[in-house]
Amino acid sequence: MRFLIYFENIINPFKGGTERAAHNLASCLHLKGHDIITLAKYRSEERCDFPIFYLPSQDIISNDNIEFIEKVINENQIDVLINEGGNTSDVQLFNHLKLKTKVQIITCLHFAAFQGFGKEYYADFDLRSLTSVFKILKKPINQYNALKLFRSNYTTILEYSDEFIVLNEEFKKQIVFLTGLKEYSSKIKIIPNINILTPENFIKKKENIILYVGRLQYETKRVDRLIKAWSIVENNLNNWDLVILGDGPDRRWYESLSDKMNLKRVHFEGRKDPTAYYKKAKIITLVSTHESFGMTLVEGMAFGCVPVVFNSYPTASEILDDGECGVLVEPFKLADYAEALRGLCMAPHKLSKLSELAIVKASQYTGDQILPLWDKLIQGKWS
């Protein structure tokens, strides 16, 4: 079959979480013999592993875009169109109402429907800036407008897409509640993200490294929590290092925070292929306020990294079993998080056991396990 996969950015696996998830799916479909073509809104000089087209207009529902997509579909004999941007207003273009095509249209949502609007709404406001203060004051208006937009977008998906993919049952419930469209709930399918980073032979010799992989942005990611937790235990863990892999708008602020706290063994490595770091690290961390899935956790677990995570989003407790293949910490208690790190680092036998179980758990998210769900969906055999 021939697939056209869209996201607003090119699906470079090192660019972001949605890009990585889309790239992994495309790679697995390609390995199964399917032809993959990609489509993006924003042009980029970054690497893309598949043929790529760009939308001619930034006005997403322009006639130019509609005509262009229909032309790409027809000339390339596309069978399935996958829109990976289910959380954006691009869904107002990628549907059967706008596109006069008979191809199967599948929309993927890589976020929770209410992401950013729960009890931790204030958790990511950076009170160093007046902008965040104004956001707090405008919370009711912002929530109303955002939820109104989400309701419109998700209603369009349910009514005019063939299938709507979410990451877990809780996300499905949120969509149905928000739209009120129970009659379309059968369109909503649950398919986890695919991890394609797995070692051929697991190397048991690891280093005393606690690892973070992700975007260095204050909002949602909150790496300052990890730095502060590390400051509590650094002096007790003399032979351990904290390695922060990634880049983003707040990298310099995080580096400055580390310097101000006089931390000696925090290393900012920039944006790099994380594979080599997964091989070396013993612990993988996530301290976000909100996440959709947490690809870096699954990737790290596949290499035997033990995850330590704030239990702040629904899929956290699905990806790891607390005390069995990782540690879930109540949001956002830094002392408890620090103690979870210290406890693992000071108990090598326990850490080794959890490492083995993490590998087993991560095996549930390989292409061999997840791609059959996509096969059933595309072939109309979902039951």
For position 146, what pLDDT does the model report? 77
Same domain, 16 and 165: yes
**Alpha-carbon gap, residue 290 to 293, rounded angstroms:** 9
Put the strands of the sheet holding 163-166 in their side by side order: 52-54, 35-40, 2-6, 80-83, 104-108, 163-166, 188-190
At 145-187, the pLDDT tens digits run 878 888 999 999 999 999 999 999 999 999 999 999 999 999 9
For position 123, what pLDDT does the model report? 53
Same domain, 219 and 130: no
Same domain, 24 and 109: yes
Same domain, 97 and 231: no
pLDDT of 264 over the 70 cut:
yes
Would you state the torsion angle of the CA atoms of residues 69, 70, 72, 73, taken in this order, to the nearest 10 degrees?
A: 120
Same domain, 173 and 230: no
User: Which of helix, strand or coil describes residue 231?
Assistant: helix
Please indicate, yes or no, if residue 199 is contained in any of the structural domains.
Answer: no
Burial 318-332 (b: 16+ CB within 10 A, else e): bbbeeeebbbbbebb
Higher-pLDDT residue of 376, 383 = 376
For position 121, what pLDDT does the model report? 47
- Count of structural domains within the chain: 2
> Which whole number is the average pLDDT over 97-123?
79
CATH code of the domain containing 213: 3.40.50.2000
Same domain, 125 and 63: yes
Instruction: List beta partners, residue 188.
Output: 164
Pick from 32-36, 126-130, 351-355, 356-360: least confident:
126-130
Same domain, 341 and 225: yes
Predicted TM-score (pTM) of this structure = 0.88
Please indicate, yes or no, if residue 190 is contained in any of the structural domains.
Answer: yes
Instruction: List beta partners, residue 105.
Output: 81
Q: Give the phi and the psi of residue 370 in degrees, each rounded to 5.
A: -95, -35
Please indicate, yes or no, if residue 81 is contained in any of the structural domains.
Answer: yes
Please indicate, yes or no, if residue 204 is contained in any of the structural domains.
Answer: no
Please indicate, yes or no, if residue 79 is contained in any of the structural domains.
Answer: yes
Same domain, 337 and 374: no
Same domain, 176 and 217: no
Burial 348-377 (b: 16+ CB within 10 A, else e): eeebeebbebbbebbeebbbeebbebbeeb
Tokens 């008979």 locate to 102
Please indicate, yes or no, if residue 383 is contained in any of the structural domains.
Answer: no
For position 145, what pLDDT does the model report? 80
Q: What would the DSSP string read from start to end of 332-362?
A: T-HHHHHHHHHHHHT-HHHHHHHHHHHHHHH
Say which DSSP state 322 is in.
B
At 179-210, the pLDDT tens digits run 999 999 999 999 999 999 888 765 668 999 99
Would you state the torsion angle of the CA atoms of residues 232, 215, 111, 320, taken in this order, to the nearest 10 degrees?
A: -50
Domain that includes residue 111, residue range: 2-194+366-378
Same domain, 175 and 272: no
At 48-74, the pLDDT tens digits run 999 999 999 999 999 999 999 999 999
pLDDT of 366 over the 90 cut:
yes
Please indicate, yes or no, if residue 200 is contained in any of the structural domains.
Answer: no
Same domain, 322 and 371: no
Please indicate, yes or no, if residue 277 is contained in any of the structural domains.
Answer: yes
**Alpha-carbon gap, residue 298 to 198, rounded angstroms:** 10
Same domain, 150 and 26: yes
